[in-house]
Amino acid sequence: MEASASIHSGIGKNSAGTELSVSGMTCNNCARHVTEAIQDVAGVQSASVSLQQSRASVRWNSAGAKNVSAILAAVAQAGYNAKETFPEKLDGSESQPSRWPWSLLLGLTVTAVLMAGEWGFHLTMTPWFQWHAFALAGVVQVFAGAQFYRGAWRQLKIGSSNMDTLVALGSTIAFGYSTWALLSGAGGHLYFMEAAAIISLISAGHWIEARVSDRASGALKSLLNLAPQTARRLQNIAPVQPKQFDLRSFKPAAAVQTREVEVPVSELKIGDHVALRPGDRVPVDGIAVEGESAVDEAMLTGESIPTNKKSGSELFAGTMNLNGQLVLRVTATGEATALAHIIAAVQCAQTSRANIQRLGDRISNVFVPVIIGIALAAGIFWAIHSGAEKALVIASGILIVACPCAMGLATPAAIMAAANTAARRGILIRDGVALEKAGHITAVIFDKTGTLTMGKPVLAETLAVQGPKSYVQSLAAALAHFSTHPISQAIAKISTEQIKFSDWKEIRGYGVEANLQPSTANPQPPIAKMRLGSLNWVRETGVDLAAGEKFIAELSAQGATIVALASANSLLGLFAVRDELKPNAAQVVARLQRQDLKTFLLTGDNALTAASIAKQVGIMTENVHAEVRPEQKVEFVKQLQAQGERVAFVGDGINDAPALTQADLGIAVSRASDVAREAADIILLKSEIEAVPEALGLARATLRTIKQNLFWAFFYNALGVPLAACGIISPIFCAAAMGFSDLIVIGNALRLLRWRQK
């Protein structure tokens, strides 16, 4: 669960987050328990816990939801201590020194000395060596074992137990028995070396686990370091004056002069102007108002080709200005930036739980008490048959080998690695549940406009049925002017003539309508209800489309969308709007079909156009559903779900929110500025849909990895406990095996960082 807790460079004083210092965490399972405790507090949007830095970063749904005392209480209830700190005291490069390296150095040094004495020089039964072993092992118990004892005590105080409980018990049994035997003169083999080795090997496992887990958070750390901490704000150094002439010199008044002042990003406000030089990273979101340059947005969107930016272009925090000078007008700061939304989404995904994890959680919750019972029963059995010494060694081995750390890491490690792999490719996954759902998808439904097509339609042809063509176009353009739908915007561009309408409204999935008002060109026309929209809608209002049937058939067969303009019950004209297919749409559909996924096209367009588009991309005719309204899309999704299909809906996130929500998995083909949309489970930060099969393939690989991890974790415990109970493996080997099982689980999860679509 390693992740930096401070998004210092992008948020600063505007942050609505809370930083906590957390003590008592000894492993990634502890970090997971703290995360879950924080996320269960009302008002918390997401939480990210750093084991190495002993910190937690909390984001709230709103400023009013902030309840730090509730979080502190929840963390205490989970058995850990927390206190609030402040972001300005933290530096992204800071990291509290971990005690694991020091514990490991001390433990391994002592263990090596004791092993050399016992195995190399055969001093096991020599009194002076036994007393030295007692002293050295005692130092390890007190200093290196302190973290385990503190963790076990905290859990005991709240009536719970965890991995620290088993380690503390196992090591204490070995050390305690040996101390009693030494002080009482009972003789026999002493287990000081084993007690030190248990602490040392498990410390080594935790240290390696933390180092290896750190790799899985690479994309998040890269995101955290994207936005700079300072910016060059432009400030006026001369008063702003209107253009005027000096009557004595007949020269214009002096122009406003500006200077660059380097300021912390946290001081930037909306409306400020920021200078960007070649090589600068964009500090906040904004609009370019001067200059022209290429900008690298790869880390934000996964798009490797730089994007040309000029006046009016959107710029996003964390992107790199490459070769020109730009002036940016700030439009968003702090947590309102696209980068902050992306970081929050990645953190939420990393720290979330999948449903499959509940199986491991349920077992882990009862595992420790069961193992203690097994160790006690085995100890009694061996005490009766072989004496107390053998019984204590067997019980110690059982307690150590049964630590359920690998079980707890099986799911989170895979989710963390997958979330980072996806983020590097411009794919945002909401949480572990979304990732799990994506791995079970059987059918994929595509919207047309903006999903399979470019989403930038242009007017191809116009048919004027009544009146001059120019007037028909002017009416349609004026009627479409206020609509944000891509097709309406394409029609709105064909004329700038001002025509007055009243009672204008847009009917989602149908079109727009308004009442035409009298004008100088038509001084006394009757007020008429004008409609511009889909053929099906216009036909339902009683308009006869017979006059345009040939036009509709020919242009629809070419893949154009036909829009009708009507006045009352009369057809005035038809408009053919073309929207080009995305270059790789057919390959994407083919890749999904090779994954044995059923593909569907659902669109509000007419049947002929839908059939033409489906034919071009390779979707079967029977899987094409045209002239479907937004609410009908939801019903179609429900129908497929009722047939046993697990449905993914791919839409542009604008008019498809109901269908995205109803689907088992909602995938929004979006832009970086739209990442805050709540309807989708997966958001593609670039408009290319090649990421759809990639996201689904990654999800399947992740689900497969989780199942493998759970299998190996269960198999390890199922095999290790009986072997330890039978005395086949020693406590030292049990400690090494426990650490090795953690590495197997984490290493298997890290393979997802190198995952590639076949």
**Residue 246 DSSP symbol:** E
Check residue 582 and report its DSSP letter: P
| Residue 222 and residue 345 share a domain | yes
**Are residues 462 and 569 both part of a single domain?**
yes
Regarding whether 754 and 719 lie in a shared domain, the answer is: yes
> Residue 220 and residue 54: Cα distance in Å, rounded?
17
| 221 and 342, same domain (yes or no) | yes
Asked, for residue 623, whether it belongs to a domain, the answer is no
The pLDDT, as a whole number, for residue 244 is 47
Predicted pLDDT of residue 330: 92
Can you give the three-state secondary structure of 514-543, one letter per residue? EEECCCCCCCCCCCEEEEEEEHHHHHHCCC
User: Tokens representing 753?
Assistant: 């960082």
User: What would the mean pLDDT of 369-390 be, rounded to a whole number?
Assistant: 86
For residues 283 and 262, give the distance between their C-alpha atoms in angstroms, rounded to a whole number.
12
| Residues 629-673 pLDDT 10s | 777 888 899 999 999 999 999 887 556 777 887 888 888 876 544
Buried b (16+ CB within 10 A) or exposed e, 113-150: ebeebbeeeebeeeeebbebbbebbbebbeebbebbbe
- Whether 662 contacts 638, CB under 8 Å: yes
> Of 97, 127, 143, which one is at a domain's C-terminal end?
97
- Of the candidates 361, 241, 283, the one whose C-alpha atom is nearest the C-alpha of residue 12 is 283
The CATH number of whichever domain residue 80 belongs to comes to: 3.30.70.100
Please write the tens of the pLDDT for every residue from 226-237: 778 888 898 876
106 shares its domain with 93: no
pLDDT at 756 over 50: yes
Q: What is the pLDDT of residue 53?
A: 67
pLDDT at site 37: 86
Residue 295 within any structural domain of the chain: yes
Count of structural domains within the chain: 5
Indicate the pLDDT class of residue 289, thresholds 50, 70 and 90.
very high
Token pair for 223:
């995101």
> Which contiguous run of DSSP H or E holds residue 417?
helix 405-424
On average, the pLDDT of the chain sits at 79
Higher pLDDT among residues 391 and 337, named by residue: 391
Q: Residue 360 pLDDT > 60, yes or no?
A: no
pLDDT band at 477 (very low <50, low <70, confident <90, very high): very high
Within a domain: residue 373?
A: yes
Out of 97, 129, 153, pick the residue that ends a domain. Answer: 97
- Which residues lie below 8 Å from residue 546, measured CB to CB, with a gap of 6+? none
Arithmetic mean of pLDDT, 687-698:
83
pLDDT at 5: 30
Which of the given ranges, 81-95, 272-286, 323-337, has the highest pLDDT on average? 272-286
Domain termination residue (choose one: 157, 188, 216): 216
Same-domain status, 322 and 432: no
Residues 109 and 153 in one domain: yes
User: Hey, which residues are catalytic here?
Assistant: 447
Most confidently modeled of 110-119, 153-162, 711-720? 110-119
Kindly indicate the confidence band of residue 599, based on its pLDDT and cuts at 50, 70 and 90: very high
User: Is 569 found in the same domain as 474?
Assistant: yes
Is the residue at 605 inside a domain?
no
Measured between alpha carbons, how far is 10 from 281 in angstroms, rounded to an integer?
A: 12
pLDDT at 253 over 70: no
pLDDT at 485 over 70: yes
Give percent of the chain with pLDDT exceeding 90: 13
Is the pLDDT at 395 greater than 80? The verdict is yes
pLDDT, residue 678, reads 55
* Whole-angstrom distance, CA of residue 582 vs CA of residue 651: 14
| pLDDT tens per residue across span 178-216 | 898 888 887 777 888 888 887 887 777 667 666 655 555
pLDDT score for 51: 67
Are residues 223 and 161 located together in one domain of the fold? no
**CATH at residue 273:** 2.70.150.10
pLDDT top residue among 342 and 372: 372
User: Smallest Cα–Cα separation from 2: which of 219, 229, 300?
Assistant: 219
pLDDT of residue 576: 92
Triad 708, 690, 432: Cα angle to 5°: 35
Tell me the DSSP string of 594-650: HTT-EEEEE-SS-HHHHHHHHHHHT--GGGEE-S--HHHHHHHHHHHHHTT--EEEE
Residue 736 within a domain: yes
- Flag whether 635 is in a domain: no
Q: Compute the Cα dihedral for 633, 638, 644, 647 and give only its sign.
A: positive
Between 148-157, 253-262, 412-421, 493-502, the lowest mean confidence (pLDDT) is in: 253-262
pLDDT of residue 502: 85
pTM: 0.62
Domain containing 299 equals 230-334
Q: Which residue has the higher pLDDT, 102 or 98?
A: 102
Reading the block at residue 423, the tokens are 């983020």
Q: Which CATH number fits the domain that encloses residue 498?
A: 3.40.1110.10
Distance CA 523, CA 517 (A): 9
Q: Is 610 inside any structural domain?
A: no
Residue 351, pLDDT above cutoff 70: no
Q: Across residues 482-492, what is the average pLDDT? A: 86
Is there a single domain that holds both residue 195 and residue 295? no
pLDDT of 361 higher than 70: no
Please count the other Cβ atoms lying within 10 Å of the Cβ belonging to residue 403.
Answer: 32
Beta-bridge mates of residue 507: 511
Confidence bin at 95 (pLDDT 50/70/90): very low
Contact 414, 432 (CB under 8 A): no
CA separation for the pair 428, 430 (Å, rounded): 6
556, HSE (Cβ side, Cα atoms, 13 Å): 19
pLDDT at 218 over 60: no
Judgement on whether residues 469 and 568 belong to the same structural domain of the protein: yes
Among 6, 22, 16, 14, residue whose Cα is nearest residue 87? 6
Whether residue 603 is contained in a domain is answered as no
Which of 51-65, 344-358, 562-576 comes out lowest in average pLDDT?
344-358
Q: Is the pLDDT assigned to residue 568 strictly greater than 60?
A: yes
Q: What is the mean pLDDT of the segment spanning 523-540?
A: 79
Cβ–Cβ under 8 Å, residues 494 and 459:
yes
Same domain, 267 and 322: yes
**Range with top average pLDDT, 67-71, 286-290, 715-719:** 286-290
